[in-house]
Amino acid sequence: MNPALRSVLWTVSVAFGLWFLTFAVPSGNYWLKLCLSASVLAVLGLKLSGKERTCLFPSKRRHLWVGFFSALLLYGVFWAGRQLSFWMFPFASREVSNIYANKAQLDPLAIGLLLFFVMGPAEEIYWHGYVQRTLSRYLGPARGLLFTTAIYALVHISAWNGMLLLAAAVCGLFWGWLYQHEQSLTPVMISHSVWDVLIFILFPMN
């Protein structure tokens, strides 16, 4: 196996382990564990990217509004999906409520700051700046996007929450496509960070 693909595989194994500790192990603060796990993956992704890490963040003036309005668009998709899923699936309301159950562990302002400045950027650096970029190089852009989306969704399996898995798949595909289209993490990190704050703090859907 190609050494670069082997590196992706072992870091993905680390991701599954970290997300298991975050979701399945009750001890510790959920938000701090989540941000620490994402940060570890981001550091690994940057380290393994080598000199290419300098090419991950090209910025253009339009990236600010692309990131902001794409977050609004994704929030709209989730709002529509919430109405549909609550109508179709009896378990949807309970599982969505479970996603928000950990909000009591930390002050909302602290959660918002962690999501905006740590969680959003760190996840994008690892999942799309490293995993998707590497897989796309060896498997092609389409398969790289789809494989990254599938892995990103499955890494949440330890939460045992079908709605969370579906949400992760939608987000992974959306931000993966945005990264592929823009070839820059800058608008994707903005989009992820803004969306996190919208859906968890400002306008939650539970």
pTM: 0.96
**Confidence band (pLDDT; 50, 70, 90) for 206?**
confident
Domain extent at residue 162: 3-23+31-46+69-202
* Domain assignment present for 100: yes
Domain tally for the chain? Answer: 1
Mind listing the pLDDT tens digit for each residue in 78-123?
999 999 999 999 999 999 999 999 999 999 999 999 999 999 999 9
* Domain assignment present for 37: yes
Mind listing the pLDDT tens digit for each residue in 140-164?
999 999 999 999 999 999 999 999 9
* Domain assignment present for 173: yes
Structure confidence at residue 54 (pLDDT): 86
* Three-state helix/strand/coil letters over the chain: CCHHHHHHHHHHHHHHHHHHHHHCCCCCCHHHHHHHHHHHHHHHHHHHHHHHHHHCCCCCCCHHHHHHHHHHHHHHHHHHHHHHHHHHCCCHHHHHHHHCHHHHHCCHHHHHHHHHHHHHHHHHHHHHHHHHHHHHHHHCHHHHHHHHHHHHHHCCHHHCCHHHHHHHHHHHHHHHHHHHHHCCHHHHHHHHHHHHHHHHHHCCCC
* Domain assignment present for 145: yes
* Domain assignment present for 54: no
Residues of the chain with pLDDT > 90, as a percent, come to 94
Q: State yes or no: pLDDT of 201 exceeds 90.
A: yes
What phi and psi, each to the nearest 5 degrees, are found at residue 145?
A: -65, -45
* Domain assignment present for 177: yes
* Domain assignment present for 93: yes
Q: State yes or no: pLDDT of 5 exceeds 80.
A: yes
* Domain assignment present for 51: no
**Confidence band (pLDDT; 50, 70, 90) for 20?**
very high
Q: State yes or no: pLDDT of 185 exceeds 90.
A: yes
